[in-house]
Amino acid sequence: MSKKANTFQTPIGTRDLLPGESARWEAVVEVFSSVASRSGFALVDTPLFEDIGVFSRIGEGTDVVGKEMYEFHDRSERHMALRPEGTAAICRSFVQHRPPVPWKVYYRGPYFRYEAPQAGRFRQFHQFGIESIGSDDPDIDVEVIALGWNVLQSVGLKQVNLLLNSMGDANTRKQYQQSLGDFLEGRVLDLDEEDRSKVASHPLRVLDSKRRATQSVIAQAPLIEEFLDGDAKAHFERVQEGLNALNIPFTIEPKLVRGLDYYTHTTFEFQSQALESAQNTVCGGGRYNGLIEELGGPPTPGIGFGMGIERLLLACDAEGSFPDPPPKTQVWVVDVTDGSSARDLTQLLRADGVVADRSFDGRSMRSQIRSADRSGAQLALIIGEQELEEATISIRMLRDSAADQIVVPREEVVSQVRQLLGLDS
């Protein structure tokens, strides 16, 4: 009996990013990085795994910590976790390095949650996000939300709603938690079974529930706005005033408490109306004025958001925006002699900033021209026996059927190519 070799697949909830889609992926990351750096945010890259304590601070009662964390003991019995989100790690980094404030940083990369995979929900997913640490100024809330808005605008999304809420301070939260807990206690049997156990210990988490029975109970729950004090109200009003001034439309959603425990004051989400409601949040964020202290730092306010890259691209697909970028290849070198010209010319062109490629394996002229066509290149540089002999190159305009093929001296080819591609203007 012949033994069949094992083949392997990507683990459940993960996927390969392949060449057909990776250019768009890179383009969307580039949009984000440039929007963020234009607003004075600088890249921070933290490890993919950390001491689990970094993340357990974000909320014992949350799904992210309770059910979804990829935790493991390393070979020295350290209790670690693959990072499930960005904010706690950035705050850990802030406490470790104590940079001057305001510390305005952005991040992008893979995050890990043990979730039930479905459209727009993966176990390894990707986020980009920003954090602005060190100031309580409500205008920073506006800057952060506006940055998220700018990213969504830059990828051409039109059907997004900004939902906004204020959680007040720790005291507000405590009082509201009490009142909400009492209310839910009285209706516990009407809640979805899955949510009942949260009522006593983490009533706020019940508000995040997407389960129908629970939703109809929380529609009647007390609202946090009744518990906001004067300072919290003033902060929230200034945020709204700023969004209005910048013409960023929003809806106040008093039940928006977000899935993590660290939020205070402003919380917000951008939701896509083009996606199913189970995964329509493309971006979520808010203020976390207690988190840095929890992580052993001095009391320091902060605000940020995380945006799901897969979700963002799904929303783009649903709206038909942000199409694949055009191919990058500009020049294809077609060498039907022994390949030496292709070898040398591609290198020369690339060194001069031209995106150049070629065929291998001594293919026929026809086959090489076909590859040139498929690559999206504007120009084919053709070297046959005659060109070789005369030290010339024939340049064919692949996208312009009216244009002739021109012949140029070999030593002028780079400058000719740059000119034809309009790289020097």
108 binds ligand ATP (CB under 6 A): no
Closest separation in Å from C-beta 150 to ligand ATP: 17
DSSP-derived 3-state class of residue 243: helix
Alpha-helical runs (H) found in 39-169: 52-56, 63-66, 87-97, 138-154
> Considering only residues 311-340, where is the footprint of ligand ATP by CB under 6 A?
311
Q: Which residue from 59, 148, 203, 259 is in contact with ligand ATP, where contact means CB under 6 A?
A: 259
Q: Which residue from 131, 141, 310, 357 is in contact with ligand ATP, where contact means CB under 6 A?
A: 310
Closest separation in Å from C-beta 332 to ligand ATP: 38
- Pattern 50-89, binding to ligand ATP, x per CB under 6 A? -----------------------------------x----
What span, in angstroms and rounded, lies between the C-alpha atoms of 322 and 307? 16
Q: Which is nearer to ligand ATP, 41 or 263 (CB)?
A: 263
Q: Which residue from 143, 303, 306, 357 is in contact with ligand ATP, where contact means CB under 6 A?
A: 306
115 binds ligand ATP (CB under 6 A): yes
Q: Which is nearer to ligand ATP, 103 or 125 (CB)?
A: 125
Residue holding tokens 């670690």? Answer: 80
Comparing every residue's Cβ against ligand ATP, the nearest one is: 308
Q: Which is nearer to ligand ATP, 239 or 282 (CB)?
A: 282
Helix (H) or strand (E) holding 387, with range, is helix 385-390
| Residue 156, CA distances (Å) to 149, 150, 159, 272, 325 in order | 11, 10, 9, 12, 14
What span, in angstroms and rounded, lies between the C-alpha atoms of 123 and 116? 8
- Pattern 268-297, binding to ligand ATP, x per CB under 6 A? -----------x-xxxx-------------
Burial (0-12, 13-18, 19+ Cβ within 10 Å), 270: buried
DSSP-derived 3-state class of residue 399: coil
106 binds ligand ATP (CB under 6 A): no
Tokens (6 digits) for 321: 């925006």
Radius of gyration of the CA atoms of the chain, in A? 28
Which residues of the shown chain bind ligand ATP in the complex (CB under 6 A)? 85, 113, 115, 120-122, 125, 127, 259, 279, 281-284, 306, 308, 310-311
